[in-house]
Amino acid sequence: MTIPSPAGPQNEGPKNAAPQNEGPRPAAPRPAAPRSGGPGGGPARALQRVTASALGPYQSAVVRIGFAATYLFFLLRELPNRHELYGPDSPWHWELARQLTNGNEAFSVLMWTDSTVWFEAVYVLTLLSAAALLLGWRTRTMSVLFMVGVLSVQNRSIFMGDGGDNVVHLMAIYLVLTRCARVWSLDARRAARNAQRAAAGLPPLRDIVGPALWVLLGPVLVAATLMGGLGGTWWLPALLWTIWLSAAAWWAVNRYQPHGEPRTLLDVLANLAHNATLAVIMAEVCLIYATAGWYKIQGSRWQDGTALYYPLNLDYFTPWPALSDILGASGLMVMVLTYGTVIVQVAFPFTLFNRRVKNVLLVAMICEHAGIALLLGLPFFSMAMIAADAVFLPTAFLMWLGARATIGGRRLLSGLPGRSRTPGKPGGSGPTHGPADPPEAGPVKDGRAGAEEPRLQGGGGGHTLVG
């Protein structure tokens, strides 16, 4: 902010006196910008940041990839056993599941009919939606289908899961409200292409798949609502109808007023929903660790440092008996790991405002879950918890990790037969932009030390039902 100079001359002499040859005057000092603690400075800046951008684009992308991969691999592993776990051959047969869902008002499209063909269709659709969400293709649509699939499969046989399933259950709902495809997705690549075309004065690529998905899913939603197939709660129909109607609003605004105030308003609402959901995910992770840690403190086996010994000697939790025997034979190691688990889980929520300590405990928790996957044979529980922990990973580390993955992918592709290493020639491995680094998604400083966000043009990485 600069102070404008007076409109008229200074009254220091005769009105028509000739100006004197004076040296250059020093510029007037600019008023200091209001500090964050000043009146209106901090709240206004925080409100601007929350409404103007979707925070944590890399963290939300990792959460999306992590949970989609977790459930995708789980469905693939249980593919031979799907009928016994969730299908018509399950001991928890369809009639029992229907009675339970009628009582607790849970939602499951598998309760619409006991047809085997319908079960197979739902299982395959859930598997495909998880794969598409992992890649970030039509992310908003796939996140909705992923949520429907996860809730349907888990609510069909609730006794088949563990703590990891509960986390996937919640995160599948949260991902619907996030803009988790801003980076590292096929939607980000498509948005970057449209940004390049806009810079060149060309119209955006015509989208046929998005409107087709919207038209296809609309009658399904109408029929499910009229037939009472959306469960007994109010929030799920409200969420699905809000997303479906907002998709039409996004399409109309992007088509007729792409740079007008309605588009800005929709962006602000989407950013608010994303940032609020991201805060809920962080609070959820802290609550999980806090409650787990405090419950462990009350157990006598955790107090005397022997809790880890018992699962290491159970056949069900020993995929590698020799390794479990070696670890269980060391009383010191068992005691250190037992007490260390409790200390890390209890302390983590209190270290969020100290970046260095938080990062150290975050590494410790990720290593803890990797050990649970290896020693106790719970890989999907560990994958779900690591994906949830990823919301706290530093942005600089995620950007470095993405850059290394991109370089590794290009080197791998350049080594394939028929691909030249000379950039710019047919089959060459020249500069190509993948999902990890779309050309218009370069890092832009946001004014905070070390925190960077992508600059995306156009569609915003799949923030509507139609992608």
Per-residue pLDDT tens for 249-303? 999 998 888 888 999 999 999 999 999 999 999 999 999 999 999 999 999 999 9
Read off the pLDDT of residues 143-158 as tens digits, 9 standing for 90 and up.
999 999 999 999 999 8
Structure tokens at 28: 């007037």
66 pLDDT band (50/70/90 cuts)? very high
d(CA 45, CA 57): 19
> So what's the pLDDT on residue 418?
62
Residue 427 has pLDDT above 50, yes or no: no
Contact criterion met (CB below 8 Å) for 183 and 58: yes
The length of the chain, given as a count of residues: 467
Q: In this structure, which amino acid lies at residue 109?
A: V
Contact criterion met (CB below 8 Å) for 328 and 335: no
> So what's the pLDDT on residue 450?
37
- Mean pLDDT calculated for residue range 26-31: 50
d(CA 80, CA 54): 40
Phi, psi for 444 (deg, rounded to 5): -125, 125
Residue 433 has pLDDT above 50, yes or no: no
Read off the pLDDT of residues 11-25 as tens digits, 9 standing for 90 and up.
444 444 444 444 445
User: Which DSSP category does 7 fall into?
Assistant: S
Query: 33 or 245: whose pLDDT is higher?
Result: 245
57 pLDDT band (50/70/90 cuts)? very high
Closest CA to 60 of 466, 460, 380: 460
Task: Please report, rounded to a whole number, the percentage of residues in the chain having pLDDT higher than 90.
Answer: 66
> So what's the pLDDT on residue 162?
82
* Other beta carbons within 10 Å of 24: 5
* Mean pLDDT over the full length of the chain: 83
> So what's the pLDDT on residue 359?
94
Give CA 33 to chain center in angstroms: 35
- Please give the torsion angle defined by the CA atoms of residues 367, 368, 372 and 373, in that order, rounded to the nearest 10 degrees: -20
> So what's the pLDDT on residue 17?
43
* Other beta carbons within 10 Å of 29: 7
pTM: 0.82
Residue 424 has pLDDT above 90, yes or no: no
How far from 252 is each of 202, 246, 256, 258, CA to CA, in Å?
Answer: 20, 10, 6, 9
Task: Please report, rounded to a whole number, the percentage of residues in the chain having pLDDT higher than 70.
Answer: 81
> So what's the pLDDT on residue 41?
67
Task: List, in sequence order, every beta strand (DSSP E) within 319-456.
Answer: 443-445, 452-454
Contact criterion met (CB below 8 Å) for 179 and 191: no
User: Which DSSP category does 420 fall into?
Assistant: B
